[in-house]
Structure 1
Amino acid sequence: MPSFDIVSEVNEVEVKNAVEQTNKEVGNRFDFKGSDARVEQAEKVLTVFADNEFQLEQAKEILLGKFAKRGVDTRCLDEGKVEKISGNKVKQTITVKVGIETELAKKIVRVIKDSKLKVQASIQGEAVRVSGAKRDILQDTIALVKKSIEEFPLQYQNFRD
């Protein structure tokens, strides 16, 4: 029976490269001279440091631009609130979300079931497995999910006959 998985993944190497390029550009830009602006990465959590909120926004804008150039979807980023450190300095944490959360997985299954396509969808951890009798029906299901779920980046993997 043909099947495929709906997942949400991020290329961690590209994320690391984007962070390194951002730090390099921030270090070279004239408007950041003498400031402590930087981006640090710890696994899937990025922390943006700056001397003030304006520089924080500028550094974030550079980071998002680097993500876009490297093909990392920015919809998978979850920005935390801006926190004051010492004096005027501020920081903000940005979490890179990987995997499909339970609420979104339930929404995907509901969309598939409501479509009356002859497929079965089941939640398996951080992925949704869809199986059906024919390959064409599975391709219709992929098109339906792409059209219905736009708020979060999804990939379709493990297509098996």
Structure 2
Amino acid sequence: MAKDESFDITTGADLMEVANAINQARKEIANRFDFKGVVAEIDYDHGTTRFVLHAQDDYKLEAMWQVVAQRMVARNVPLKNLVRGTPQKASGGTLRQEVTIVQGIEPEIARKIVKFIRDQKYKKAQAQVQGDAVRVSSPSRDELQQVIRDVKAQDWGIELKFGNYR
């Protein structure tokens, strides 16, 4: 009997890189002329999976998002894993927007990935949900590589990582 090979499909962002990107964004916002004398804050507690942008108006909020997005890209944090909430009115006519960092594959998306793999009719590839990841196994490495190519070709709304290839 041949030994099964496998790999895991996961998602997430390195929270240390997120913290570094936010610190860089804070410094840039503090030094930019268009943010002088107005409300422009980023609230983030290290290790959490969300941060809040607090700005004077829609224009400043969007400008802050652009700065944060540039810093995240420079630090290899996938922007697909940052989910922006709707801006909420705060005190003094300011706006707050919560941004959530996706750290695991949601069960609904994981089920869609498993269903996609089954619908492709691979000879022996098996996929199963394991917590916030999807494990794919098969006796054939070539088949696993084909599964990776096919899953990468689809848009799942999040950045997928393929690891633990055994």
TM-score (normalised: structure 1): 0.95
> Following the alignment from structure 2 to structure 1, what is the Cα–Cα distance between the partners of residues 145 and 99?
34
Corresponding residue for 1:152?
A: 158
Number of aligned residue pairs: 160
Matches of 1:39 and 1:26 in 2, distance apart?
10
Task: Report the Cα distance in structure 1 between the residues aligned to 2:57 and 2:154, rounded to whole angstroms.
Answer: 39
Which structure shows the higher strand fraction? Answer: 1
Partner of 1:100: 105
Q: Distance in 1 between matches of 2:28 and 2:155?
A: 34
For 1:103, the aligned partner's letter is E
**Letter of the 1:18 counterpart:** A
Q: In the TM superposition, what is the alpha-carbon distance from 1:149 to its structure 2 partner?
A: 3.3
Check if 1:79 corresponds to 2:100: no
Whole-angstrom CA distance in 1 between matches of 2:157 and 2:85: 18
Over the residues paired in the alignment, what is the CA RMSD in angstroms? 1.0
TM-superposition CA deviations, 1:94-115 (whole Å, max 9, x none): 0001110111111111111111
Runs of 4+ that moved beyond 4 A: none
Following superposition, the deviation at residue 150 of structure 1 comes to 4.5
From 40, 55, 62, the counterpart of 2:60: 55
SS in structure 1 opposite 2:60?
A: helix
Question: Aligned pair 1:114/2:119, yes or no?
Answer: yes
Equivalent residue, structure 1, for 2:24? 21
Provide structure 2 residue ranges, at least 5 long, that are not aligned to the other structure: none
The offset of 1:54, in angstroms, is 1.2
1: CA distance between counterparts of 2:15 and 2:142? Answer: 32
The one of 118, 131, 143 equivalent to 1:137 is 143
User: Unaligned stretches of 5+ in structure 1?
Assistant: none
What is the CA distance between 1:17 and its match in structure 2?
A: 0.8
Return the match for 2:133 from 103, 108, 127: 127
In structure 2, distance between residues paired with 1:110 and 1:89: 44
The whole-number CA distance in structure 2 between the counterparts of 1:116 and 1:149 is 19
- Give the letter for the 1:32 counterpart: F
Matched residue SS, 1:17:
helix
